[in-house]
Amino acid sequence: MMRCDILTLFPSMVKSVLETSMMSLAQAKGLLDVTVIDIRSFTHDRHRTADDRPYGGGAGMILKPEPILEAIDSICATHPNTRIVMTSPRGRKFDQAYAQKMSEDSHRLVFICGHYEGIDERVHMIMATEGRKVDEVSIGDYVLTGGELAALVMIDASVRLIPGVLGSTNSVKEESFSSTLLEYAQYTRPVELRAARVPDVLLSGHHGAIRKWKHRSSLASTYARRPDLLTGRALAHADQLILTDIQKEEDTEKSDSPRRLSS
Ligand code: ADE
């Protein structure tokens, strides 16, 4: 069970995703519990002001610290076991290992979705001084207009790792990144499509051969698309041999992996 709060200026945007597909199913199954909190409900002025101009000048607006800190205080008053996740392009990079950790975390995860040009620096400082667990997390080296999509990406990637959310636990175990290899090529009906056939071995019913084929396909896909995942990784001797074979195939242009575009 993952328990989360999402602090946002745009609750309806977040809710619309949570009401859809796997996110909604996970909540219905009691494996995910998300509360969406409008940061503006912790403002006290007539205009519900959540942002202000930056000291020292500069572009854009900064999220005011008080509403965010009050929201955190109010959550922590009833749920002391919390971990604060500040979405920010300057944070540590979110990856599959982090998603796994989140999916197993017993803390209540409180996502703070930044907006405009950022959040007053003291929010992070004060939370750390108060001894709260705070992570700043980025979903990649690009800048979004707000942290909502980042929070949803993190929750989505984590929730599907909770046993029982997906139909089969095998689908998580076998897929990309769990073993740091990309996924093998997949096919469904029809067997033949515009002269392109599903590989015979997959139709053979020979489980040992199928398993071997899938592993080779994973290695070939990783070698073609993400060779960086193979460098610095100690490959088993058997995998070295398969890889050499794949490289030879590529040299003779028999490989079925996508051809790289020449620049
Ligand atoms: N907010 C804006 N850009 C972001 C990013 N790349 N990751 C997380 N939060 C963000």
Question: Which protein residues touch ligand 1 with a CB less than 6 Å away?
Answer: 87-89, 114, 138-140, 142-144, 147, 150
DSSP 230: T
More confident residue, 259 or 50: 50
Ordered domains of the chain (ranges, CATH): 2-167 (3.40.1280.10), 192-255 (1.10.1270.20)
Tell whether the model's pLDDT for residue 188 goes beyond 50. Answer: yes
Look-up of token digits 């460098």 = 231
Tell me the best of 6, 13, 88 to mutate to test the pocket of ligand 1, counting ligand atoms within 8 Å of each CB and taking the most.
88
Give the pLDDT score at 259: 47
The CA distance from 143 to 225, in Å, is 25
Name the amino acid, one letter, at 152: L
CA of 22 to the centre of ligand 1 (A): 23
Q: Which helix (H) or strand (E) holds 52?
A: strand 51-52
Sign of the dihedral through C-alpha 251, 253, 255, 261: positive
Which residue, judged by its Cα, is nearest atom 2 of ligand 1? 144
CB 37 within 8 Å of CB 73: no
Tell me the pLDDT tens digit for each residue of 64-76: 999 999 999 999 9
| Selection from 36, 30, 23 nearest residue 111 by Cα | 36
Tell me the pLDDT tens digit for each residue of 95-139: 999 999 999 999 999 999 998 789 999 999 999 999 999 999 999
Tell me the best of 95, 98, 113, 144 to mutate to test the pocket of ligand 1, counting ligand atoms within 8 Å of each CB and taking the most.
144
Question: DSSP string of 141-187?
Answer: SS--SBSHHHHHHHHHHHHTTSTTSSS-HHHHHHSTTTSSSPPPP--
Give the Å distances, CA to CA, from 128 to 108, 131, 147: 17, 5, 20
